[in-house]
Structure 1
């Protein structure tokens, strides 16, 4: 599975999108012991609750042990969302419909299957576990996460427009890079190339260390990758000379837009009021230093090339 062959037809159908289930799986990995990522360190505090839940359900506990192994994540946790999966309920329903034998077949190859997993409702139990993780560790923060994911998608779409797939995917995740000639390296494993002809390829941001690949052959494939931007770090400080040139408020807003953000996000990261941020954005828009674009239900602002050159000069 080291290289995927993606022709022009696949690229034409490829797109970036969010997935509540992908973020729920990322949270589950943290609850099972993976390091918490910047912006989501609070997830780790729920680990005792997960241990208590698994202790009370031997089937779910056995699945958790078998589903997450070095170099492998159970297929049922990685299936790409369908076009009509609109929210976590739709994605969990798809997990719930997975036959028990398909759940078992998607565990790491070459490993024995725990006897506890020989139950007919295994898909239901996996969906129940994921729904519990969603409610506990993801749902309270989902509006903020979704805005950050949309901002990351806008940034990568811009790079795709200006630099092609090599620019958009070059730093997507460790081990993934665009090789050219319709070849996408997704990891360093020595597997025969997989031809994705006729399939749809999705790129999904999540708060994860390195992400994972998913597939529902022959129609859907996905790469979950670490979201950058707002979740990874705070906004860059505005250079003092830029503050003197534009005023401290507008300079702070412009410096924060290294990643596309909504007005609400800018209020949160700059500490300025909503009215002030709105006024600063209007001036920056009129000056040609920022542009805006709708992403889902949000309007995201981002720096223009002129603004990038101005910031480089000031630094």
Structure 2
């Protein structure tokens, strides 16, 4: 199994981060394989035809995708972890372009079993790889980035709260397939037969993404990342959209918050998921509390809100009684 040795110093320096480049690579992998979490199926149906057309017209891009995303492996130069929280997609893409061409070619050369394709033996390989990533970002990710970012940030809030209440073992176990905390400073990162890696003195980043499995990344020996599948709302957003009747009854913001509280969430998570201000979310939560549709409890330093039985009944009834358009079903005639 693949194991990383992570001392207390590395854990102290580790942090959660959002990466636009990681989300772009996730989109590229999903478009290439056709495998997405349920909540991304409409996105895939919208963008897959354009991607197939783009790839069909570009032999370099076809060869790059085959070589960079081999089974159990992703090219590091395409997935370099962000250097800081303020990095933009342009900053991350600049690091891809700055990769020495010979280093990129060496990464993509899989040896006798998978030699470097002739299409990739070009002097401007990093520039052309960055061009493909830029196309994926502009066409398929950037238009939806504000929503995606809120969801990824909400996942980070949830993980951080879990860390404060349960420690690293509860936070890391099951973060991605094959990953679990072994104790004694050892983290199993996958089930593959790989040499153990010592992260002493390095920085470790945990990056949520919409990919169904995630991957491991590195930037030299001093910065490593674990890209993991985002949980929660991305799994099935259709179930979390408030029906129109509920929105008319409570107001769209309040109905949306009540719908999201199928599992306990903090006000900070709700701010990240909805995009509304902290004061606005807090005011709506107070109204829902007064109406006894939600309750709250303390978890560590956080206050978590969750639906009461009455709140569950109200949301459940609306979902059961709405047709796919969101309009109430007509009652059968009485004879």
Matched, 1:281 2:289: no
> C-alpha distance in 2, partners of 1:86/1:285?
39
Report if aligned partners of 1:74, 1:108 keep a CA contact under 8 Å in 2.
no
> C-alpha distance in 1, partners of 2:257/2:100?
55
Hey, what does 2:150 align to over in structure 1?
147
Hey, what does 2:118 align to over in structure 1?
115
Hey, what does 1:175 align to over in structure 2?
178
Hey, what does 1:244 align to over in structure 2?
none
Q: Give the superposition deviation at 1:63.
A: 1.0
Correspondence for 2:139 among 131, 136, 141 = 136
> C-alpha distance in 2, partners of 1:144/1:14?
25
> C-alpha distance in 1, partners of 2:141/2:28?
10
Structure 1, 10-19 or 42-51: larger mean CA deviation:
42-51
* CA RMSD in angstroms, aligned pairs only: 3.3
Q: Give the superposition deviation at 1:285.
A: 7.8
Residue 163 and residue 75 in structure 1: after superposition, are their counterparts in 2 closer, same or farther (change >3 A)? same
Residue 53 and residue 178 in structure 1: after superposition, are their counterparts in 2 closer, same or farther (change >3 A)? same
> C-alpha distance in 1, partners of 2:206/2:197?
17
TM-score scaled to structure 1, two decimals?
A: 0.80
Q: Give the superposition deviation at 1:178.
A: 0.7
Hey, what does 1:69 align to over in structure 2?
70
Residue 2 and residue 285 in structure 1: after superposition, are their counterparts in 2 closer, same or farther (change >3 A)? farther
Q: Give the superposition deviation at 1:62.
A: 1.4
Q: Give the superposition deviation at 1:149.
A: 0.6
Residue 91 and residue 209 in structure 1: after superposition, are their counterparts in 2 closer, same or farther (change >3 A)? same
Aligned positions of 1:1-315 closer than 5 A: 2-41=2-41, 42-83=43-84, 86-107=87-108, 109-110=110-111, 111-234=114-237, 252=258, 255-260=261-266, 261-263=269-271, 265-266=273-274, 279-283=283-287, 289=296, 303=304
Q: Give the superposition deviation at 1:186.
A: 0.4
Residue 77 and residue 285 in structure 1: after superposition, are their counterparts in 2 closer, same or farther (change >3 A)? farther
SS at match of 1:210: coil
SS at match of 2:261: helix
Please list every run of 5 or more consecutive structure 2 residues that lacks an aligned counterpart in the other structure: 242-253, 314-335
> C-alpha distance in 1, partners of 2:270/2:143?
19
Residue 74 and residue 138 in structure 1: after superposition, are their counterparts in 2 closer, same or farther (change >3 A)? same
Report if aligned partners of 1:258, 1:302 keep a CA contact under 8 Å in 2.
no
Report if aligned partners of 1:285, 1:291 keep a CA contact under 8 Å in 2.
no
> C-alpha distance in 2, partners of 1:68/1:43?
18
Structure 1, 177-186 or 33-42: larger mean CA deviation:
33-42
Report if aligned partners of 1:250, 1:284 keep a CA contact under 8 Å in 2.
no
Encode CA deviations 1:26-80: one digit per residue, 9 max, x unaligned. 1101111231223222134322222322233322221112112222222222221
Q: Give the superposition deviation at 1:118.
A: 1.1
> C-alpha distance in 1, partners of 2:287/2:54?
53
Please list every run of 5 or more consecutive structure 1 residues that lacks an aligned counterpart in the other structure: 238-247, 269-273, 293-300
Structure 1, 226-235 or 196-205: larger mean CA deviation:
226-235
Structure showing greater Rg: 2
Report if aligned partners of 2:270, 2:281 keep a CA contact under 8 Å in 1.
no
Report if aligned partners of 2:154, 2:273 keep a CA contact under 8 Å in 1.
no
